[in-house]
């Protein structure tokens, strides 16, 4: 038998190196799969929370200028409990509108020609307005808010189409998306919606 005819047997260190490399590759793929799965679960949970409890909305239009402007991105909270002055979003003709709660069911709303708003014969304080206006009003005043509805108005009263107009009217509970709570975009406007 010649010296060259012998079969080559790997050294123990070579076998161990190949084993360690295979083990590392297996652990790496398991860690990647686990990480990707965790990202999918977290993303699905975030989408579920956003859809069910905290819808995120992008603002279009000028009816709430000063409070929320066109292009702002806001977080709203699902609820049907509001107080006067809350900013709410609701469905109207396959769109989502954003307005401010002025009165709740059973309240009487009246507006004078200068744009002053009265609820149950008391003038309400509106520090969020930059200017008052009678606006596009075609309802009969004083107006009593029907049961399970809210009366809403935009902060930019001269251009806002809201509960003062029969085309929108008072808003039913089923239409409500939620109460706006926080502005998240642009970063310069980040903060609570007041």
The number of residues making up the chain comes to 194
Structure tokens at 152: 């809403």
In whole angstroms, give the CA distance from residue 124 to residue 60.
27
Around 43, how many Cα atoms within 13 Å sit in the side-chain half-sphere? Answer: 6
Which positions are catalytic? 63, 99
List the alpha helices (DSSP H) in the chain: 12-52
Q: How far apart are CA 25 and CA 21, in angstroms?
A: 6
Q: What does the CA dihedral 124, 127, 128, 132 come to, rounded to 10 degrees? A: 70
Alpha carbon distance 149, 152 (integer Å)? 10
């Amino acid at each position: 038998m010649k010296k060259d005819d012998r079969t080559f047997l790997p050294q123990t260190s070579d076998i161990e190196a190949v084993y360690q490399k295979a083990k590392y590759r297996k652990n790496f793929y398991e860690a990647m799969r686990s990480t990707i799965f965790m990202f999918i679960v977290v993303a699905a949970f975030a989408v579920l929370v956003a859809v069910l409890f905290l819808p995120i909305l992008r603002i279009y239009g000028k009816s709430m200028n000063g409070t929320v402007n066109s292009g702002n991105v806001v977080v709203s909270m699902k609820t049907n409990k509001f107080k006067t002055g809350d900013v709410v979003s609701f469905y109207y003709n396959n769109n989502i509108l954003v307005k401010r709660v002025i009165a709740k069911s059973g309240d009487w709303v009246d507006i004078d020609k200068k744009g002053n708003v009265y609820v149950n014969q008391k003038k309400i304080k509106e520090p969020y307005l930059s200017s008052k206006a009678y606006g596009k009003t075609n309802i009969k005043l004083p107006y009593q808010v029907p049961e399970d509805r809210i009366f809403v108005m935009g902060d930019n009263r001269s251009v806002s189409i809201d509960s003062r107009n029969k085309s929108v009217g008072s808003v039913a509970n089923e239409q409500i998306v939620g109460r706006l709570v926080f502005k998240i975009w642009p970063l310069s406007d980040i903060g609570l919606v007041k």
